[in-house]
Amino acid sequence: MNSNQLFFHIHYCNGRKLKEPLRYPRKFSRTLSHHELILVTGGAGSITIGEKRHPVQEGMLYYIAPGVFHSFEPNPSKPAIFLTVHFSYARVSLYEGKWEVTDDMQPLGLQSAQSLKDAYSALDLFQKLVDCWNAKLPGYEFMSKTLLQQLFIAIVQHIKKQHPTDAASLKVEKIIQYMLQHISDKVTLNELSDLVQLAPTYLSRTFKETTGYSVIEFFNRMKIDKAKELLIEGDKKVKEVAQALGFTDEFYFSRIFKRNEGISPSEYCSKNVHGI
């Protein structure tokens, strides 16, 4: 999933405010039409998500996708304490100068249950998110959405650290580093396949699953990011920028640029360098 395209909408958050008396959750069974993240900050019990039952323990994060039946059974002698956020999301992208918004009910790429016990950044962000939502200060909705996006990134990074031997992920990172080092060159799928010792078809699929883009799309986006930097410096013509980034065809470079930015490189240069 390409997390860069996700736009979150928060329905509500639950959790204890500072100095507020503890409120323990009761037994419930339900199916939601939106997403929910639940972080256990204390106590015990059990939660069933779909057909799998999980023990409720401090530091556990539970993810519930839309349409998934789930139930909670409290432990009377050791009531559980939760932080929760209920949200929906859409994919928002800019293509050829036009914004595209797509409602997405697909599950996020998270397990239904995992430990965040040592994920201090994620734990802190979740608490800040709930505190921000509860405080209801001016701008809290925008701030809460920003914190949720940061929380999602922190969770993904924590998961990645828990699996340092994920060979496919490491190879994608190696390819990206290679692209950065050869931003002015042309690279081929076969060249990258040889670099990481993966079959081209498998590499293409793995790269798309990891980044949300095909290999060539990602490399072109990197080149366009660099092109914007070179154009704004104002000392190179469009043709020179194209050549500096390995494009032998200036018009092909312009098409790729417009596909990503919605305007041609010359228009981009005029608006950002010359102020026209």
Give the separation between CA 37 and CA 149, rounded to whole angstroms: 13
Task: Render each residue's pLDDT in the chain as its tens digit; 276 residues.
Answer: 456 678 899 999 988 544 454 455 678 899 999 999 999 998 899 999 999 999 999 999 999 999 999 999 988 888 888 899 999 998 887 776 778 888 766 778 888 999 987 788 899 999 999 999 999 999 999 999 999 999 998 998 888 777 655 677 788 889 999 999 999 999 999 999 999 988 999 999 889 888 888 999 999 999 999 999 888 876 788 999 999 999 989 999 999 998 888 889 888 887 766 554
The answer to whether the CB of 39 falls within 8 A of the CB of 119 is: no
In the DSSP assignment, the letter for residue 69 is: E
pLDDT value for 19: 46
- Token readout for 89 is 């999301």
Per-residue buried b or exposed e for 37-72, using 16+ beta carbons within 10 Å of the residue's own CB: bbbbbebbbebebeeeebebeeebbbbbbeebebeb
Q: Tell me, yes or no, if the pTM score tops 0.75.
A: no
Domains belonging to the chain, first-starting first, are: 3-162 (2.60.120.280), 168-274 (1.10.10.60)
In the DSSP assignment, the letter for residue 119 is: -
Give the separation between CA 79 and CA 68, rounded to whole angstroms: 24
pLDDT value for 110: 87
Give the separation between CA 115 and CA 220, rounded to whole angstroms: 37
Q: Give the residue among 111, 16, 108 at the shortest CA–CA distance from 61.
A: 111
